[in-house]
Amino acid sequence: MTTEGDAAAAAPPGGTTSPVAAAMRRLLALGGVEAKSRFAYVAGARLHYLEAGAGEPLVLLQGASGGAANWYRVLGPLAAHFRVLALDLPGFGLSDPLNVEAPLGAGGAEVVSAWLGAAAIERCALVGTSLGGLLALRLAQREPGRVRRLVLLDAVGLGRELPLLVRCAGLPGLGRLLLRPTRSGTAWLFRRLLTSDRSRLDAAHQAALIDYLWSSARAGDARGMARAVRRFADPGGQREVLTDAELEALRVPVLVVWGERDRFVPLAHALRAAARIPGAELRILAGVGHSPNWEAPEAFLAAALAFTRS
């Protein structure tokens, strides 16, 4: 079942506009985005997504912070060509948390598949960034007929390497302490790991993004997030990495887009994916960090639209 409303009026159950919804509205306004807020129910959880445009469906999967409005700088231009659906992953944005016991990628892909069914999407182009890239890869493995084309944007799941902070966050106890949401901590994460060249974003965009990431983190389930991070990372790095055989078995057209200066997942992961996935295309964005959809929206759009429209 799905319900809908204007993104400007999005609210959590109970009817009161939340700080997350207010922060989302500010980002969408900065991006000049007109989108509908919709909700679908998956395994009893209420999942929120943004929808804009018409035509063939294109689905956007966020990383492990913020929510669907992370795509605010590219959602409008994409909606000029597609029916775009951007999901708040469970426990992020305006979506309810959802405890999935399966491995992070496979469990997340199962949730995304169920959500696509609730939204009546049989086949789509799929774009996944960071954690969303792992979910997109697992969905393409699980249901290749459902994925028309796949764009991996600085995706996880392609190598073990991670920053020390993220590896430490996978430790019991310490993880909960490190993941405790504070505005200063969110600002540090944004400046040190999620972006590389902040001059590409003016002060208004930086403030609105940090507020959105912080609001989403505060609204989320801290214990659930700590459990999810422990499933994602350990002191050695990423737990769930696709094998060479898994990458070589993919039968979906794939574009790998990567920020050359990504400080979260290294460029070597992109090179491995492009070398192992049959027919994969690779676009490296010079001087860009982990979030090309924020830092270099025009470059990301040029690559993504050329690929997904072909």
DSSP code per residue over 86-101: EE--TTSTTPPP----
Tell me: pLDDT of 69 over 70.
yes
Cα within 13 Å of Cα(275), Cβ side: 9
Average pLDDT of the chain, as a whole number = 90
Across 109-130, average pLDDT: 97
Q: Output the pLDDT for position 278.
A: 98
Across 218-231, average pLDDT: 70
Question: What are the start-end ranges of the H helices in 220-296?
Answer: 222-232, 244-248, 267-276, 292-295
Domain that holds residue 246: 2-308
d(CA 115, CA 269): 28
What is the number of structural domains in the chain? 1
Q: Output the pLDDT for position 15.
A: 43
The CA–CA distances, whole Å, from 289 to 69, 216, 258, 277, 285 equal: 19, 22, 8, 23, 8
- 239: tokens are 């737990």
Between 19 and 101, name the one with better pLDDT: 19
Share of the chain above pLDDT 90, in %: 72
Report how many helices (DSSP H) and strands (DSSP E) the chain contains, helices first.
13, 11
Q: Parallel, antiparallel, or unpaired for β 57-61 and 83-87?
A: parallel
Q: Output the pLDDT for position 8.
A: 45
Q: Output the pLDDT for position 5.
A: 54
Across 286-297, average pLDDT: 97
Q: Output the pLDDT for position 51.
A: 99
Q: What's the pLDDT tens digit per position in 236-285?
A: 889 899 999 999 999 999 999 999 999 999 999 999 999 999 999 999 99
Please choose, from the candidates 70, 262, 232, 93, the residue with its C-alpha nearest in 3D space to the C-alpha of residue 166: 232
CATH number of domain containing 132: 3.40.50.1820
d(CA 244, CA 185): 36
Between 137 and 178, name the one with better pLDDT: 137
Tell me: pLDDT of 17 over 60.
yes
- The pLDDT confidence band at residue 16, using thresholds 50, 70 and 90, is very low
Top mean-pLDDT range of 14-23, 38-47, 98-107 = 38-47
Tell me: pLDDT of 103 over 50.
yes
